[in-house]
Amino acid sequence: MTLYSAYKNNMFLLGLPLEVLLCIADSLNKAKDLLALACLNRATNALFLPYLCNFNVRRQRSSALLWGVVRGDPKFVGKMLGNYQADANTTDEKSRTPIFHAIRAENETIIHMLLSDKRADINWQDQYKQTPLVYAMSRNLLSAASLLLDFKPCLDKKDGKQRSAVWYAIAHCDENLVQVLLKKGSDIRTPDYKRISPISLAIANKSVNITRMLLLHSAPSSGKSLLQDGNLRDRLLHRAVQAGLQDIVSLLVANGANPNSRNRHGQNLLHQATEKGYKEVVRELLTYKKTCVNARDSYGRTAFHIAAEYGHKSITRLLLSSSDVDINTLDVNGATALCLAVQAKHTALALQILAEDHVNINVAGQNGRTVLHYADLDPNIRDDDEWAPLTYAASNGDLRMLELFLARRDIQVNVQQAPPLFHAAKKGHLEVVRRLLCFDTIDVNQQFWNTSPLCIASEMGHLEVTRLLLEHTTPPDINLKTYMGDTALSLAAYHGHLAIIDLLLAEKELDVTATDRFGESALCKAARNGHEQVVKRLYKDPRAKGGSDVRGAIEAASNCRIALYLEGHLNEEGNFRIWP
């Protein structure tokens, strides 16, 4: 149809009597046809728009109402509800009514307009079982939620995660909204799908005021508060200690909770508070007669052991102020608190304990180690694991202690079964490795469980340690294999350490095609683990282009891009080659 003919047809329609036009509108059964009539000019727009709206209500489930709400047009929404009796509970593909969309837009005018319609269901649940109130609360739309409360929604409706409005109010730490919901009778005992109750959530969020509100709130049905529940008090006390809520601990104990109750690890509340480092909670617990300061957990540790092990100096001081504390108690490994403090290198705390009278520094644990051994004072004596103090110093990266040992003429730097160089390289302690390599008699290839320092540094991705080993005056055996047949190159390739691959490939003596006990080369390992850049770097090296090596890598490739690259179908940029 030409533009001229369309124009003539429109003019023909406009020339028809009004009664004929209305008869035509009544006979139309498609919204697009009514819209076409309404769009002819202003007069037809005013005439046929009501027909279009009525058609939408009758035949299209009042979808125009949703459209108006999403657009934020209160005038159109009012017309649809008042003039055309649109369904206020029409739904979208997620079973959400217009009120959900108004809440999401935080359009209080439209929210009020929709809820003022008596047909609107304020407790409608969408496909996730969320009511408008729960929907607003879950998205932290608190102003919209406050407005919804004026229309008396059901407060105990729960969504698919078994969470109610008060659960979300607690999650968002909104004290005012929690208080309003409690006054209106919200249920605070039912947990969600993860078994997290509102009170547990409040404690986990460290919301002291909300937690107190919930504990003191009396349930409408029973008239009892959570504080009056003897079965619940001790569990809540454990959670309050774990969260470090001193005021809540005091409130629960004052109402009958047992301060000496234990968890499944045999730890009492003092153990738990000490481990977390909650000084004020520890101080609070020490004021109760029921608290046993020397109680042991399942590992034989007292709270004093735990404070020493974790380096909580202020808590150690608090515990030492108690006349009942036993500072020489042994745990299941035969270690005292002093041993644990020295082993963990908490020097200031260890000195604090040493200042106490009757401290025993000669206690030997089940593994034969004393405090002196942990302090690395005897250079060559080994423990049950064959570790010497020098090995511990190297493994811990303690350069200052290492210098003290290496200054001694009787030091054994190549410790059998526990080589310091290997353990320093494994942990990536660069300066320790550098200092050990300066020692004339150091064995750069000394293995631990058939693994050399170069292999472990390459495997762990310690670039600078690897560089330092390769640059040593007596270079390491670059092709030395582990008990599984891996070389430094294959270990680096397996873990995708590209920078280390570059370092190793610069060595002329490197065997690029060396295979492990299963016949896999570095190229195969990189391909199997999907390290595309490593594959490309190895493949560029002419030493890695043996036919069987490349075929094995293609078969082992974990993604098609690597296989296509090795087959020659992709270029360096990852695009398909265009063959001439």
451 and 539 share one domain: no
Between 18 and 277, residue with greater pLDDT: 277
487 and 441 share one domain: no
447 and 499 share one domain: no
Residue at 212 is within a domain? no
513 and 460 share one domain: no
**What backbone torsions phi and psi does residue 565 show, to the nearest 5 degrees?**
-65, -45
Look-up of token digits 């691959």: 501
- The single-letter DSSP state of residue 544 is G
Among residues 440, 466, 492, the one where a domain terminates is 466
460 and 537 share one domain: no
What are the residue ranges of helices labelled H in 382-531? 389-395, 399-406, 420-427, 430-437, 453-460, 463-470, 488-495, 498-505, 522-528
Does the pTM surpass 0.75? The reply is no
In the chain, the number of structural domains is 2
Comparing C-alpha atoms, which of 318, 383, 395, 316 is closest to residue 351? 316
Q: What is the pLDDT of residue 52?
A: 66
Q: 361 to each of 185, 227, 392, 574, how far by Cα in Å?
A: 61, 47, 20, 65
Among residues 419, 441, 466, the one where a domain terminates is 466
Distance CA 309, CA 303 (A): 10
Per-residue pLDDT reduced to its tens digit, 385-417: 888 888 988 999 988 878 877 877 778 899 988
> Which domain covers residue 401, as residue numbers?
392-466
CATH number at residue 400: 1.25.40.20
Q: What is the pLDDT of residue 166?
A: 95
449 and 523 share one domain: no
Residue at 131 is within a domain? no
Per-residue pLDDT reduced to its tens digit, 437-496: 998 899 999 999 999 999 999 999 999 999 999 999 898 999 999 999 999 999 999 999
Residue at 65 is within a domain? no
Distance of CA 111 to the CA centre of its chain: 36
Q: What is the pLDDT of residue 6?
A: 39
436 and 492 share one domain: no
484 and 461 share one domain: no
Q: What is the pLDDT of residue 381?
A: 78
Among residues 411, 435, 466, the one where a domain terminates is 466
Distance CA 487, CA 522 (A): 8
Residue at 382 is within a domain? no
496 and 565 share one domain: yes
Q: How much is the mean pLDDT over the chain?
A: 85
Q: What is the pLDDT of residue 39?
A: 58
Residue at 497 is within a domain? yes
Q: 382 to each of 53, 372, 379, 420, how far by Cα in Å?
A: 91, 12, 9, 13
Distance CA 107, CA 122 (A): 16
Residue at 454 is within a domain? yes
Residue at 368 is within a domain? no
454 and 490 share one domain: no
Per-residue pLDDT reduced to its tens digit, 226-249: 998 888 999 999 999 999 999 999
Could you please report the per-residue DSSP string of 102-131?
HHHTT-HHHHHHHHHSTT--TT---TT---
460 and 414 share one domain: yes
Q: What is the pLDDT of residue 31?
A: 56
Residue at 198 is within a domain? no
pLDDT-based confidence at residue 250 (cuts at 50, 70, 90): very high
What are the residue ranges of helices labelled H in 295-385? 303-310, 313-320, 337-343, 347-354, 371-374
487 and 530 share one domain: yes
